[in-house]
Amino acid sequence: MKNSPHTWPCIQAGPGPLVDWVGHFAAVAAYDSATTLAESLGVDAGAATDKATDYPFLTRKQNYTLRRQVEAYRFGSGRDYKAD
């Protein structure tokens, strides 16, 4: 029974790939946290030129850069996918 493939999980990854995977998983979690923070601050990444989401104390270029950075966080966290 101990040698049955149905009772023992088959892990074919050594410590190197496992550490690499954990690093990627941590990066996704960090991007998800950054996206959540940006959304709670009211930054809308989907608005390319929407003046309603601009911060008045930032220049146009800084507002654009901020929105693109939040867009990158959303893409990196996987939140850009919309299931129908």
Alpha-carbon span 71 to 53, nearest angstrom:
14
The residue range of the domain holding 41 is 15-77
82 within some domain = no
Tell me, yes or no, whether 57 lies in a domain. Answer: yes
CB 73 within 8 A of CB 38: yes
Q: Residue 42 falls within a domain, yes or no? A: yes
Per-residue pLDDT of the chain (84 residues; tens, 9 = 90+): 556 556 666 667 788 888 898 999 998 899 888 888 888 877 766 655 556 567 788 898 988 888 888 888 888 888 777 776
Number of domains the chain is built from: 1
State the DSSP code for 53: G
Asked if the structure places residue 1 within a domain, the reply is no
**Residues constituting the chain:** 84
In a domain, 84, yes or no: no
Q: In angstroms, rounded to a whole number, what is the distance separating the alpha carbons of residues 80 and 44?
A: 13
Residue 37 included in any domain: yes
